[in-house]
């Protein structure tokens, strides 16, 4: 007779930090590479580094108005300046954007403003300016806290810059967010775990995490061609992201993005992209998190049983089974038992 091991996985608890973004509308304003004078090896826009803004303020206004009209439900709205190093822009330029965004905050139409920038572009004066215009959230592009990785990636800042910037941002009472990457040159799983552990000490509210893709026309592509850099496999990248997110379980940080947003240039079909590219990277990583949790909950030995029943909330069944049933197959091989994944 078959003895069944029943295991119940509290996926809601496991994935609680992964924010359901449906509770807020974001109006993204992209200012690509604006204000950045750096040459990170994974970035392919260095040719236009330091270029001044050609984002027309009237266009931004039009975009905001259009987006505002399109929102149907009563949710909080945030204007977010993405894509560049906002505080590296000329002060006048920053003020131009902030003033516009702040008019909507003052009218009560928009709840908050977010900017993203580099750790070495934060100072007391900069923070005072952002405060004046009601910026709520500052996202720091950290990428790694390992000096060798930062150097090899030509980030142009050190981990000390991150520490200094994060402390100041907290001191001035902004909401702090971090962006980090897995698979940077000279990085390892251990370095990525150390990075997140060090960053969590600053009690960030939000985290974005990306796997490194090799873009043609980037320095990383040259390194790749010379075999000085090997991108992660999709399997490894998803596994490393899952490990990092696993470290966030006991914190209050919300994981607001896993993997780059798919676009025409960033997709499985894009020919100029090498690395762990998947249009469903986030799903891959989440399914690894669920897999790790299942493994943690399977007792080492249960004599006599030849099947394991894993009960999981219905909405998470596909994450538990994994892409192309990868998790189920892996578990069956690892435990040499039949694995039944059952919704409850
Ligand atoms: S700081 Fe950001 S925008 Fe500037 S080169 Fe690096 S990745 Fe590109």
Taking only the tens place, the pLDDT of each residue in 19-43 is: 665 678 999 998 766 556 788 999 8
- Residue owning the nearest CA to atom 3 of ligand 1: 33
How large is the average pLDDT for residues 203-230?
Answer: 94
Atom of ligand 1 nearest to the CA of 42: 7
Alpha-carbon gap, residue 169 to 139, rounded angstroms: 10
Instruction: Give the Å distance between the CA of 236 and the centre of ligand 1.
Output: 24
- Domain range for residue 318? 3-10+301-343
Examine the pLDDT at 341 and tell me if it is beyond 50: yes
pLDDT in tens, 255-266: 999 988 777 677
Q: What is the pLDDT of residue 31?
A: 79
Instruction: Give the Å distance between the CA of 39 and the centre of ligand 1.
Output: 6
Instruction: Give the Å distance between the CA of 154 and the centre of ligand 1.
Output: 10
Q: Is the CB of 85 under 6 A from ligand 1?
A: yes
With respect to residue 86, please indicate whether it lies within any of the assigned structural domains: yes
Q: Is the CB of 38 under 6 A from ligand 1?
A: yes
How large is the average pLDDT for residues 272-279?
Answer: 88
How large is the average pLDDT for residues 89-118?
Answer: 95
The answer to whether residues 54 and 140 belong to one domain is yes
The least confident of 181-190, 266-275, 316-325 is: 266-275
The answer to whether residues 182 and 51 belong to one domain is yes
Q: Is the CB of 40 under 6 A from ligand 1?
A: yes
Examine the pLDDT at 142 and tell me if it is beyond 90: yes
The answer to whether residues 334 and 258 belong to one domain is no
With respect to residue 24, please indicate whether it lies within any of the assigned structural domains: yes
- Residue owning the nearest CA to atom 6 of ligand 1: 40
Alpha-carbon gap, residue 127 to 138, rounded angstroms: 9
Which among 50, 85, 117, 212 is the best mutation to test ligand 1's pocket, defined by most ligand atoms within 8 Å of the CB? 85
Instruction: Of 269-273, 294-298, 299-303, give the range with the top mean pLDDT.
Output: 294-298
Q: Which residues pair with 209 in a beta bridge?
A: 180, 258
Examine the pLDDT at 106 and tell me if it is beyond 50: yes
Whether the Cβ atoms of residue 111 and residue 104 lie closer than 8 Å to each other: no
Examine the pLDDT at 160 and tell me if it is beyond 50: yes
Alpha-carbon gap, residue 42 to 100, rounded angstroms: 32
Q: What is the pLDDT of residue 49?
A: 36
Q: Is the CB of 41 under 6 A from ligand 1?
A: no
**pLDDT bracket for residue 225 (50, 70, 90):** very high
Atom of ligand 1 nearest to the CA of 37: 4
- What is the domain count for the chain? 2
Say which residues have a Cβ less than 8 Å from residue 237's Cβ, sequence separation at least 6. 182, 183, 211, 275, 276, 281, 285
Examine the pLDDT at 222 and tell me if it is beyond 50: yes
Whether the Cβ atoms of residue 255 and residue 298 lie closer than 8 Å to each other: no
The answer to whether residues 305 and 270 belong to one domain is no
With respect to residue 296, please indicate whether it lies within any of the assigned structural domains: no
With respect to residue 125, please indicate whether it lies within any of the assigned structural domains: yes
pLDDT in tens, 40-75: 999 876 443 334 456 788 999 999 999 999 998 889
Instruction: Give the Å distance between the CA of 121 and the centre of ligand 1.
Output: 12
CATH code of the domain covering residue 111: 3.20.20.70
Instruction: Give the Å distance between the CA of 153 and the centre of ligand 1.
Output: 10
With respect to residue 294, please indicate whether it lies within any of the assigned structural domains: no
The answer to whether residues 307 and 285 belong to one domain is no
The answer to whether residues 99 and 216 belong to one domain is yes
Higher local confidence (pLDDT), 302 or 237: 237
Q: Is the CB of 33 under 6 A from ligand 1?
A: yes
Alpha-carbon gap, residue 130 to 145, rounded angstroms: 25
CB atoms within 10 A of CB 30: 13
With respect to residue 164, please indicate whether it lies within any of the assigned structural domains: yes
The answer to whether residues 227 and 277 belong to one domain is yes
Alpha carbons within 13 A on the beta-carbon side of 77: 22
The least confident of 184-193, 223-232, 282-291, 294-303 is: 294-303
Tell me, yes or no, if the pTM score tops 0.85.
yes
Q: What is the pLDDT of residue 51?
A: 41
Instruction: Give the Å distance between the CA of 216 and the centre of ligand 1.
Output: 15
CA distances from 215 to 35, 148, 167, 231 (A): 21, 21, 33, 11
The answer to whether residues 90 and 135 belong to one domain is yes
**pLDDT bracket for residue 268 (50, 70, 90):** confident
Atom of ligand 1 nearest to the CA of 33: 3
Higher local confidence (pLDDT), 140 or 93: 140
Alpha-carbon gap, residue 326 to 319, rounded angstroms: 10
φ/ψ (deg, to 5) at 210: -125, 145
The answer to whether residues 169 and 318 belong to one domain is no
With respect to residue 295, please indicate whether it lies within any of the assigned structural domains: no
Q: What is the pLDDT of residue 33?
A: 61
The answer to whether residues 60 and 183 belong to one domain is yes
Whether the Cβ atoms of residue 152 and residue 185 lie closer than 8 Å to each other: yes
The answer to whether residues 224 and 334 belong to one domain is no
Instruction: Of 1-5, 55-59, 142-146, give the range with the top mean pLDDT.
Output: 142-146
Q: What is the pLDDT of residue 50?
A: 39
Atom of ligand 1 nearest to the CA of 39: 5
Alpha-carbon gap, residue 268 to 322, rounded angstroms: 18
Examine the pLDDT at 233 and tell me if it is beyond 50: yes
Q: Which residues pair with 307 in a beta bridge?
A: 4, 338
Atom of ligand 1 nearest to the CA of 38: 5
The answer to whether residues 283 and 305 belong to one domain is no
Average pLDDT, whole number, for the chain?
89
Instruction: Give the Å distance between the CA of 33 and the centre of ligand 1.
Output: 7
């Amino acid at each position: 007779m078959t003895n069944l091991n029943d295991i119940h996985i509290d996926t809601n608890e496991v994935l609680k930090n992964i924010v359901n973004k449906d509770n807020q509308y974001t109006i993204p304003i992209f200012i690509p590479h604006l204000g950045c004078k750096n040459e990170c090896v994974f970035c392919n826009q260095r040719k236009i580094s330091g270029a001044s803004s050609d984002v027309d303020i009237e266009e931004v206004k039009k975009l905001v108005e259009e987006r505002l009209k399109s929102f149907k439900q009563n949710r909080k709205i945030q204007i977010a300046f993405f894509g560049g190093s906002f505080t590296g822009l000329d002060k006048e330029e920053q003020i131009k954007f902030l003033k516009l965004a702040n008019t909507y905050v003052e009218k009560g139409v928009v709840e908050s403003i977010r900017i993203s920038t580099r750790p070495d572009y934060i100072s007391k004066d900069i923070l005072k300016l952002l405060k004046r215009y009601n910026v709520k959230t500052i996202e720091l592009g950290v990428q790694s806290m390992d000096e060798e990785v930062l150097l090899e990636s030509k980030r142009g800042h050190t981990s000390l810059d991150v520490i200094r910037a994060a402390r100041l941002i907290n001191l001035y009472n902004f909401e702090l967010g971090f962006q980090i990457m897995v698979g940077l040159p000279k990085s390892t799983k251990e370095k990525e775990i150390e990075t997140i552990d060090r960053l969590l000490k600053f009690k960030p509210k939000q985290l974005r995490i990306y796997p490194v893709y090799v873009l043609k026309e980037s320095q990383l592509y040259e390194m790749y061609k010379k075999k000085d850099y090997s991108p992660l496999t999709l399997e490894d990248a998803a596994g490393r992201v899952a490990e990092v997110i696993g470290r966030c379980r006991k914190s209050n940080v919300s994981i607001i993005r896993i993997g780059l947003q798919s676009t025409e240039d960033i997709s499985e079909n894009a020919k100029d992209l090498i690395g762990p590219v998947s249009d469903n990277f986030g799903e891959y990583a989440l399914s690894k998190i669920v897999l790790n949790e299942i493994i943690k909950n399977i007792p080492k030995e249960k004599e006599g049983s030849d099947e394991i029943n894993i009960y999981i909330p219905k909405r998470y069944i596909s994450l538990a089974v994994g892409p192309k049933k990868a998790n189920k197959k892996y578990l069956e091989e690892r435990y040499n038992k039949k694995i039944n994944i059952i919704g409850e």
